[in-house]
Amino acid sequence: MPTLIVDPFTVLSKVPLFADLSEDELHALSHRTVKHHVRTGDIIFNEGDPCEGFYVVESGEVKIYKTAASGREQVLTVDGAGSSVAEVPVFDGGPYPASAIATTDTTLLFVSKREFRALVLEHPEVGLKVLKNVGSRLRRLVGLIEELSFTTVRSRLILLLVRLLRTEGRHTERGTEIALPANQEIAAQIGTVRELVSRNLSRLQAEGLIRLDGKQVVVPDVDELAHAVEEI
């Protein structure tokens, strides 16, 4: 079966980072992209590597994470199609502040730092428009820091479940269902260890807020689960 060829302009036009760019500016950017194909488990870049440029996910999924000296991993975000990756160091000139790995076979559009800066010199408004949307991403990361700093493991687990239920949940007669990520993956996302994830999932089930069914979690009332955060 032939591979579907996607025009870079089409991909870039759906990226929130470039939402304010004009059609001419998007075309100018698309001409400066290079397509990369990576396999599941491939490292795209490591924390501390010199920044060569930024990426846009055309298809697949990329996990952005930091690793402590102890080896413990903290997931910052998992980015799918239409997401931009590592745009901040292009502006500040520093190294990549986190690591990125492909969690599925993934196609990326790469824009080198040199090419992007040349584009900004040709179209000065591009820099301001992109920086506006970079700010939105930084605000989301501040929200993550607040969750990790000021909430319990139980609260962070509930917040993660509610986000997944509202974005990926399937409505059934039993309630809202999602495929539950592995406990280790959940632990990495909420800044804890898998034993505490397992313990808190069991407690939520005992309270009747969720029902565990193999790799599925069923939630009779998502709003009630969300409200449980306020009761802690």
Q: What is the pLDDT of residues 154-174, one digit of tens each?
A: 988 998 899 889 988 999 888
Strand (E) positions, 15-117? 34-38, 43-45, 53-59, 61-67, 73-80, 84-85, 99-102, 106-112
Residues 145 and 192 in one domain: no
Does residue 132 lie in a domain region? yes
User: Which domain CATH number covers 156?
Assistant: 1.10.10.10
What's the pLDDT score for residue 124?
Answer: 87
Q: Give the residue-averaged pLDDT of 78-83.
A: 89
Q: Give the residue-averaged pLDDT of 124-144.
A: 76
Which residue, of 149, 170, 203, is where some domain finishes? 149
Residue with token string 């955060």: 229
Answer for the pair 153, 192: CB distance below 8 angstroms, yes or no: yes
AA letter at 65: Y
Residues 184 and 73 in one domain: no
DSSP secondary structure letters along 194-211: HHHHHHHHHHHHHTTS-E
Domain count, the chain: 2
16 or 141, greater pLDDT: 16
What's the pLDDT score for residue 5?
Answer: 65
If one counts every other C-beta atom within 10 angstroms of the C-beta of residue 9, the result is 15
What's the pLDDT score for residue 150?
Answer: 67
Residues 129 and 215 in one domain: no
- Using DSSP bridges, classify how beta strands 53-59 and 175-179 pair: parallel, antiparallel or unpaired: unpaired
- Parent domain of 91: 8-149
